[in-house]
Structure 1
Amino acid sequence: MVTSSHEAMHRIFQEDPGVFARTFRRLDLPLADFPDPVAVSLLPNDLTEIQPTERRVDTLLRIDATSGESHLLIIEAQGKPNPKKPSSWAYYVAHLREKYGIPPVLVVTCQDRSTARWAEKPIVIGPAFWPTLTLRPLVLGPHNVPVITDPSAAARDIPLATLSAITHAKDPNAPAILKALAVALKTIDEDTARIFAELTELGLGKALAAETWRQLMAVDLSFFRSETSQRLRAEGRVEGRVEGQAESRAEDILLILTTRGLDVPDAVRERISTCTDLDTLRAWLTRAVTAETAEDLFTEADG
């Protein structure tokens, strides 16, 4: 049965295919760098032939790279070892190579190390005296996807931070990863934040970290939009909520600054902690990701 967690583990590549190349640059593997994509096409995932057997990959992408070459990304999410999968994967690779005429790469995403170790084993098809085909999946899981607990790092690459949260759903570091991602989502536009917030919740599935994420997301991200916050304040209906969210936003700013190792003078800390204007706090939060000093958060326009 296909679960919501299964869906999120491959859908993230549809939202940002470049996360694949960025992730593998972070891994200590003897592989050539995957080039950055210049064009990406989402291809049909139905590989069914005339025969009644239905075959579908989770996600199939065509990557046209900066090098001028193209390749296919076959994304498969795997929740547990399945002895029937290797032959299906071999079929996908051979069929797609024949159909599109460009080299395919099989990527398998996992949430636990045992499944990742199983998926990483080369798949040999043929008799022992003459192996005809050897398949080598590229596996992404908690053993090699970076743990991102720094909110500023998460804000610089939210798709990768989301992948980190999903693949480390069962890891003791999960709460810190989710907190960093939650803070990072507040630095981007509402629509994009909602996409990655939903992907994260789906990807966490039934893991204990899912409840942590629901608590972090209890504050509606749309509230931080300038027009919305101004309207609600004008109507005078949410003073207590504004105060609570301003306090939370101030804590997020200080968390980013301290995690980045920046010195936060008492005067700066006081100014951040006592500010109640959500629009100003949002601007400071965004600047905190790249500011060279804590004082760089402030401009003349902030008053």
Structure 2
Amino acid sequence: MKLCRERPEFAVDLASEMLGIPIPDYDEAIPYSECATDSVVRDLNADNVVLCREGGLARMGIILEIQQGQDKRKRFSWPAYQINIRHRIGAPVALIVVCPTSSVADWAAEPIETGHPGFVFQPLVLGPDNYPKLTTVSGTGELAEQMVLGTLVHQYAADSRRLFAAASEELAALPPDQAARYAEYMMRQLSERPRTILEALVQQETYPYQSKLLTDREARGEARGEARGEAKGAAEILIDVIEARGLSLSENQRRRIEQCTDTNQIRAWAKRAVTAPSVGDIID
């Protein structure tokens, strides 16, 4: 949810306008650490957290999660995100899950039984059934974040091309650098077929941010090539550490490590590998 790092107030808009969450008075909304880790448990990191403050004091936190598919581990981590961040900031915290399909949205909206009487955690969900389809351009860029997120939520809709076109046109009202970043967010968050449709659309039209977008994508492509090489080396070292400790490594686990291109993720696994009792505790 890089959109909320660009404009933290967007998280407040989603919470108040689309989900009806009461927001206390505040004078600033700022990006906040996504880390929800307690010192005695494994790393917990939400996708994005925004902190609303008044006079420098926390008034409310908003956690935003993008959920592409069902993941039973989230039934445990989502309540932990809310509880740990609420404990840290000393203020109410809401958790919002954004889903691109109705089936995932229905799953994410299921109440989570925590085991404690009276404490049932209820995620708040935005999906194809309750996120608006925005096809009318404002001309000022004020709907940019809503439209960009809408391309993720409605990427499988029959009229997705109209949504992509409207979002692309809305971005034209933003400064070229910001518009190029938002366009890149759109492309990166879509699955392969919708992304192909969006890329073809952008190439057919002429937008002020096009040259900046293409230049940035080429530069990132070169950087990704270097990063993949770094990740491969880190993965090999991690496997050596696991084998040196005598831990049992399945073919699926080996493949997952070798195919990971996120160097930061591999480093996090490597820290766990020093003391973890099994490979499952390292990478799951």
Give TM-score, length-normalised by structure 2: 0.65
1:211 equivalent in structure 2: 196
1:221 aligns with one of 208, 220, 225: 208
Deviation at 1:25, TM superposition (A): 5.3
2:80 equivalent in structure 1: 91
Contact 2:96–2:123, Cα closer than 8 Å, also in 1: yes
Contact 1:35–1:65, Cα closer than 8 Å, also in 2: no
Deviation at 1:158, TM superposition (A): 0.9
The percent of aligned pairs where both chains have the same amino acid is 23
Q: Deviations over 1:144-166 (max 9, x none)?
A: 11101122378441111111111
Contact 1:47–1:92, Cα closer than 8 Å, also in 2: yes
Contact 1:21–1:36, Cα closer than 8 Å, also in 2: no
Contact 2:137–2:166, Cα closer than 8 Å, also in 1: yes
| Other structure's SS at 1:114 match | helix
Seen in structure 2, the aligned counterparts of structure 1 residues 196 and 168 have a Cα distance that, compared at 3 Å, is same
Are residues 1:117 and 2:129 paired?
Answer: no
Deviation at 1:57, TM superposition (A): 1.3
Runs (4 or more) in structure 1 with deviation over 6 Å come to none
Deviation at 1:213, TM superposition (A): 1.2
Deviation at 1:220, TM superposition (A): 6.1
1:137 aligns with one of 115, 118, 123: 123
2:167 aligns with one of 159, 171, 181: 181
Deviation at 1:132, TM superposition (A): 4.4
Q: Deviations over 1:241-295 (max 9, x none)?
A: xxxxxxxxxxxxxxxxxxxxxxxxxxxxxxxxxxxxxxxxxxxxxxxxxxxxxxx
| Other structure's SS at 2:117 match | coil
Seen in structure 2, the aligned counterparts of structure 1 residues 56 and 222 have a Cα distance that, compared at 3 Å, is closer
2:156 aligns with one of 149, 152, 170: 170
Matches within 5 A, 1:1-303: 10-24=1-15, 26-27=17-18, 31-34=20-23, 38-51=27-40, 53-64=42-53, 70-126=59-115, 131-152=117-138, 155-206=141-192, 208-218=193-203, 219=206, 221-222=208-209
What is the number of equivalent residue pairs in this alignment? Answer: 209
Aligned partners of 1:89, 1:139: CA distance in 2, in Å?
12
Deviation at 1:21, TM superposition (A): 3.5
Larger Rg: 1
Aligned partners of 1:200, 1:65: CA distance in 2, in Å?
32
- Higher-RCO chain (CA-CA 8 Å, sequence separation at least 6): 1
Deviation at 1:24, TM superposition (A): 4.9
Seen in structure 2, the aligned counterparts of structure 1 residues 132 and 84 have a Cα distance that, compared at 3 Å, is farther
Seen in structure 2, the aligned counterparts of structure 1 residues 61 and 20 have a Cα distance that, compared at 3 Å, is closer
- Compute the RMSD of aligned alpha carbons: 2.7
Aligned partners of 2:210, 2:100: CA distance in 1, in Å?
32
Gaps of 5+ in 1: 1-9, 226-303
Gaps of 5+ in 2: 213-284
Contact 1:63–1:70, Cα closer than 8 Å, also in 2: yes
2:13 maps to a residue whose letter is R
Contact 1:142–1:167, Cα closer than 8 Å, also in 2: yes
Contact 2:169–2:207, Cα closer than 8 Å, also in 1: no
Contact 2:133–2:163, Cα closer than 8 Å, also in 1: yes
Aligned partners of 1:26, 1:52: CA distance in 2, in Å?
35
Contact 1:21–1:35, Cα closer than 8 Å, also in 2: no
Deviation at 1:84, TM superposition (A): 1.8
Aligned partners of 1:65, 1:173: CA distance in 2, in Å?
41
Contact 1:58–1:77, Cα closer than 8 Å, also in 2: yes
1:258 equivalent in structure 2: none
Give TM-score, length-normalised by structure 1: 0.61
Deviation at 1:107, TM superposition (A): 1.0
1:4 equivalent in structure 2: none
